């Protein structure tokens, strides 16, 4: 049988190549490219929310200290020496129905728990200060190997953060607990990651 590609080209089986491929140790499906997907998905989602007039949420730029800039003629200013600075806040904030939202988004390749080392003291302190001002603070967690995403309210994260220093304190949050304490987000088309549904639940449970 003459197999053809959709573009009309004939499909030529190259026996040598097929055998060579078979000798390659069968690899498990890799998810190595998924490291940036949560950030991309959130950027798309935030644009969709903005376009629909539902919320104004942006990722903050990475703080960079500029030391040297060249101004070549007829072209854009070129920064030739700069250094990354330590952030003092979380990555995302914005406004939704009069509420100030503040959150951090992280991914793990782990399948059974989310390591707390993904978070930093300054992020915890920042979210605590925001919560004291009646902000809605949470973390967005993605298990990249499972492709599952959760919203976990800050007060839950804070509990897990604090127990780390206790005797027999865990260094990660078990997925089973995240399933109980968090709100799972299912991927959609528009919005791609409808995390405001989880925020609505957080608002309702705070009010009622």
Number of residues near a copy of itself (by CB under 8 A)? 39
**Cβ closer to a copy of itself: 20 or 77?**
77
**Per-residue x/- marks for a copy of itself, 61-90, CB under 8 A?**
xxxx-x---------xxxxxxxxxx--xx-
Reference 202, options 143, 150, 142, 133; nearest CA is 150
Q: Which stretch binds a copy of itself (CB under 8 A): 30-38, 125-133, 153-161, 199-207?
A: 125-133
**Cβ closer to a copy of itself: 55 or 175?**
55
Q: 119: which residues sit within 8 A by CB, 6+ positions away?
A: 104, 106, 139, 157, 161
**Distance in Å from the first CA to the final CA of the chain:** 67
Among 21, 97, 117, 120, binds a copy of itself (CB under 8 A): 97
**Site for a copy of itself contains 20 (CB under 8 A):** no
d(CA 99, CA 135): 7
3-state SS class at 105: strand
- How many Cβ atoms are within 10 Å of 114's Cβ, its own excluded? 26
Quick check: bond before 191 cis, omega within 30? yes
d(CA 13, CA 17): 8
**Cβ closer to a copy of itself: 20 or 125?**
125
**Site for a copy of itself contains 58 (CB under 8 A):** yes
d(CA 155, CA 141): 15
Among 42, 55, 178, 198, binds a copy of itself (CB under 8 A): 55
**Cβ closer to a copy of itself: 35 or 174?**
35
Among 38, 45, 48, 102, binds a copy of itself (CB under 8 A): 102
**Cβ closer to a copy of itself: 88 or 162?**
88
- How many Cβ atoms are within 10 Å of 200's Cβ, its own excluded? 14
**Cβ closer to a copy of itself: 55 or 149?**
55
3-state SS class at 85: coil
- Give CA separation, 75 vs 79, 80, 81, in Å: 12, 14, 18
CB 145 to a copy of itself: min, Å = 28
Q: Which residues bind a copy of itself (CB under 8 A)?
A: 50, 53, 55-56, 58, 60-64, 66, 76-85, 88-89, 93-100, 102, 126, 129-130, 132-135
């Amino acid at each position: 049988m003459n197999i053809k590609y959709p573009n009309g080209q004939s499909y030529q089986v190259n026996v040598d190549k097929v055998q060579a491929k078979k000798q390659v140790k069968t690899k498990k499906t890799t998810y190595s490219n998924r490291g940036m997907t949560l950030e991309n998905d959130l950027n798309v989602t935030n644009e969709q929310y903005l376009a629909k007039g539902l919320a104004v949420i942006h990722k903050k730029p990475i703080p960079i200290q500029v030391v040297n800039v060249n101004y070549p003629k007829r072209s854009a200013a070129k920064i030739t020496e700069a250094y990354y600075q330590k952030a003092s806040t979380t990555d995302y904030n914005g406004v939704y129905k009069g509420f100030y939202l503040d959150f951090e988004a992280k991914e793990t390749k782990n399948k059974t728990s989310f390591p707390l080392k993904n978070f930093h003291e300054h992020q915890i302190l920042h979210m605590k200060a925001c919560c004291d001002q009646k902000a809605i603070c949470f973390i967005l967690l993605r298990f990249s190997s499972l492709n599952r995403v959760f919203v976990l309210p800050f007060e839950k994260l804070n509990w897990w953060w604090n127990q780390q220093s206790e005797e027999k304190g865990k260094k990660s949050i078990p997925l089973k607990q995240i399933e109980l304490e968090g709100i799972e987000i299912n991927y959609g088309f528009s919005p791609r990651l409808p995390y405001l549904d989880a925020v609505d639940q957080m608002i309702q449970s705070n009010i009622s």
